């Protein structure tokens, strides 16, 4: 074993014998972190200015720090050149570069540079904030993935231990509490699960002024009712699945979810793994798509469905389960873990129906990641497969979300065409509940093109009313933001700020909110505030914008927000 550079938690350089090598000064650790995480070699003069803004000889200080790091590493060949290159040998391992390794120990990973707050420039402070948020997001996503997988393979002690870690890292993330409660319940520790629910509710109420959603208490539930006698158990489970799906299709989500819960439990009782995989998948998908705030429990069930499907060789359920997990992760902004799930989905996807879905979710993740051209290419593939399979709803989804991607690429005419086609299909298919999204995105495109705001608002107001009737926080936030942009376009900044505040409150109402939309709302709030001399508020919102963009891997927004803070 060689040397290890530890940058997550209290920084250290550990030699082959497990001894920590001395490194003096916070600036040396700041330098090492900056060099290791740089996406390209860094110019020495710029680096010295970042790290030593108050020093008479910044380049001399930089040389001294580099020499001390090389001495601690006992490696004269690394951290040389101008621009500076790390050039670590194979015997030097850096923890922060192993975040996606299978054997990376998430339980030992702390904050980047621990509690060190180097006295550097404002530029470095912004860089450190971004990297801390980005890395924290990756680690928390890894913890979440491993908790869900541990529950799926019934490694309950590991699931509980990791879920407790997730709560400690992010004590006001409802999703982390749901995973802990569910892991306790699956381990048979029902009293502990209920005690955790009560403790979480009390903590949220004391600190945030409101209780967590009903999803938290639902995660502690015991098994639901058993199947009646008199008919074949397998036939009864199949009928429960069909009844549940029919109820969901009719909008009776509570009845549908209850049927699917019973179907899964009874399939497990009779030992039919294929039927259990089907019921778990349908229940998990329903919790993700049909009930707001239940993405965490839905993800657990989807992972269980995948493990069951693998055992019986059902590649279709496994692929679709990975696709749905990828969608949940992309919605929350956990993009690397979304990409990993979607890669697994693509490996086993067969036929145009399945490929249309996987390409669509890959596109959704890539566009919000800032890889817009790649994302639009996948939307095109999704549309081709959806049309080949005759799946109109998948075509509508990819046209509507793809229109958002065209807007991100500033291809306004193309966005108008995609969204117009989307709305025509929405009317043809009578998919009324999807209508608010293309109406809002098309309005934003038209606003950018100078269409009169007063012409746009009647359709938006109708879409907002429909969104409220549907009770969909994402649609409500999207349309409220689009309304704000129309007011901003005509200089009515007070109304614009009011509608953006409404958009932000509604978009964040549930714990499984669309993270990319929340970033867009914060960006609009900050930029409108700055234009109207609300500098203190704009600076505070700008920092929130930067932190959320970094944590959710909205790379183009990270650059915009950092530049915004520098201007303010």
Number of helices and strands (H, E) in the chain?
A: 25, 4
**C-alpha span between 259 and 198 (Å, rounded):** 27
Predicted confidence at residue 1, as pLDDT, reads: 56
What's the average model confidence in pLDDT over 20-28? 89
What is the pLDDT, as a whole number, of residue 267?
85
CATH of domain 351-434: 1.25.40.10
What was the pLDDT predicted at 230?
45
Report the mean per-residue pLDDT for the chain. 92
Question: What are the phi and psi torsion angles at 121 (to 5°)?
Answer: -80, 170
CATH number listed for the domain at residues 3-120: 1.10.10.10
Confidence at residue 152, expressed as pLDDT on a 0 to 100 scale? 92
pTM for this model (two decimals): 0.88
Confidence at residue 229, expressed as pLDDT on a 0 to 100 scale: 38
Identify the pLDDT of residue 225. 43
Q: What is the residue extent of each domain of the chain? A: 3-120, 154-218, 351-434
Q: DSSP per residue over 397-443, as a string? A: HHHHHHHHHHHHTT-HHHHHHHHHHHHHHHHHHT-GGGTHHHHHHHH
Confidence of residue 568 (pLDDT cuts 50, 70, 90): confident
Cβ neighbours for 222, distance < 8 A, ≥ 6 positions apart: 185, 190
Taking CA atoms, 466 is separated from 71, 433, 471, 496, 515, in Å, by 66, 8, 9, 21, 22
Mean pLDDT of 543-549: 96
Range with the poorest average pLDDT among 254-268, 302-316, 459-473, 537-551: 254-268
* CA 42/CA 46 separation, integer angstroms: 8
Q: Give the pLDDT confidence of 456-471 residue by residue, as tens digits.
A: 999 999 999 999 998 8
pLDDT band at 25 (very low <50, low <70, confident <90, very high): confident
User: pLDDT per residue over 66-110, tens digit each?
Assistant: 999 999 999 888 999 999 999 898 899 999 999 989 889 999 999
Label residue 250 exposed, middle or buried (CB < 10 Å: 0-12, 13-18, 19+): exposed
- pLDDT tens digits, one per residue of 40-71: 889 999 999 999 998 889 999 999 999 999 99
In this structure, the chain runs to a length of: 568
Query: Per the structure block, which two tokens stand in for 534?
Result: 């609300």
Q: How many CA atoms lie within 13 A of 499 on its CB side?
A: 23
Q: Tell whether the torsion through CA atoms of 460, 463, 467 and 468 is positive or negative.
A: positive
The tokens describing 50, both together, are: 């970042």
């Amino acid at each position: 074993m060689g040397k290890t550079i530890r940058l997550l938690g209290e920084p250290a350089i550990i030699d082959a014998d497990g001894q920590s090598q001395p490194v003096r000064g916070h600036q040396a650790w700041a330098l090492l972190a900056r060099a290791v995480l740089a996406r390209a070699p860094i110019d020495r003069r710029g680096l010295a200015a970042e790290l030593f803004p108050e020093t008479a000889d910044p380049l001399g200080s930089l040389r001294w720090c580099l020499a001390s790091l090389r001495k601690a590493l006992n490696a004269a060949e690394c951290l040389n050149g101008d621009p500076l290159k790390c050039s670590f040998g194979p015997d030097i391992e850096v923890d922060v570069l192993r975040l996606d390794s299978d054997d990376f120990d998430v339980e030992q990973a702390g904050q980047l540079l621990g509690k060190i707050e180097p006295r550097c420039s404002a530029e470095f402070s912004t860089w450190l904030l971004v990297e801390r948020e980005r890395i924290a997001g990756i680690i928390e996503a890894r913890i979440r993935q491993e908790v869900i997988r541990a529950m799926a393979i019934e490694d309950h002690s590991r699931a509980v231990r990791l879920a407790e870690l997730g709560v400690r890292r992010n004590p006001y993330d409802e999703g982390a509490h749901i995973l802990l409660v569910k892991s306790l319940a699956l381990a048979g520790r029902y009293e502990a699960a209920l005690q955790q629910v009560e403790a979480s509710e009390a903590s949220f109420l004391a600190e945030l002024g409101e209780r967590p959603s009903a999803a938290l208490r639902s995660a502690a539930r015991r098994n639901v009712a058993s199947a009646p006698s008199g008919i074949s158990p397998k036939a009864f489970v199949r009928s429960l699945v069909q009844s549940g799906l029919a109820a969901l299709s009719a909008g009776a989500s509570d009845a549908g979810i209850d049927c699917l819960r019973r179907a899964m439990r009874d399939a497990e009782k009779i030992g039919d793994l294929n039927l259990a995989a089907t019921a778990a998948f349908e229940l998990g998908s329903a919790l993700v798509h049909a009930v707001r705030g239940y993405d965490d429990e839905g993800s657990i069930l989807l992972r269980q469905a995948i493990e069951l499907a693998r055992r019986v060789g059902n590649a279709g359920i496994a692929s679709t389960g990975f696709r749905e997990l990828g969608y949940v992760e992309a919605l929350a902004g956990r993009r690397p873990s979304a990409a990993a799930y979607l890669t697994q989905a693509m490996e086993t996807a067969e036929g145009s129906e399945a490929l249309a879905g996987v390409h669509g979710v890959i596109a959704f993740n890539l566009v919000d990641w800032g890889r817009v051209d790649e994302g639009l290419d996948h939307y095109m593939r999704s549309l081709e497969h959806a049309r080949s399979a005759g799946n109109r709803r998948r075509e509508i989804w990819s046209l509507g979300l793809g229109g958002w991607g065209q807007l991100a690429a500033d291809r306004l005419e193309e966005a108008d065409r995609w969204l117009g086609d989307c709305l025509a299909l929405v009317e043809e298919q009578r998919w009324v509940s999807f209508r608010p999204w293309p109406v809002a995105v098309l309005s934003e495109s038209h606003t950018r093109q100078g269409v009169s705001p007063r012409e746009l608002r009647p359709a938006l107001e109708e879409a907002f009313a429909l969104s409220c009737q549907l009770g969909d926080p994402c649609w409500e936030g999207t349309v409220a933001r689009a309304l704000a942009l129309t007011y901003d376009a005509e200089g009515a900044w007070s109304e614009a700020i009011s509608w953006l505040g409404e958009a932000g409150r509604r978009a964040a109402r549930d714990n499984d909110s669309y993270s990319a939309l929340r970033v867009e709302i914060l960006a609009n709030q900050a930029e409108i505030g700055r234009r109207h001399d609300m500098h203190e508020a704009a600076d505070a919102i700008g920092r929130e914008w930067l932190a959320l963009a970094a944590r959710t891997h909205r790379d183009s927004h990270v650059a915009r927000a950092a530049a915004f803070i520098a201007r303010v």
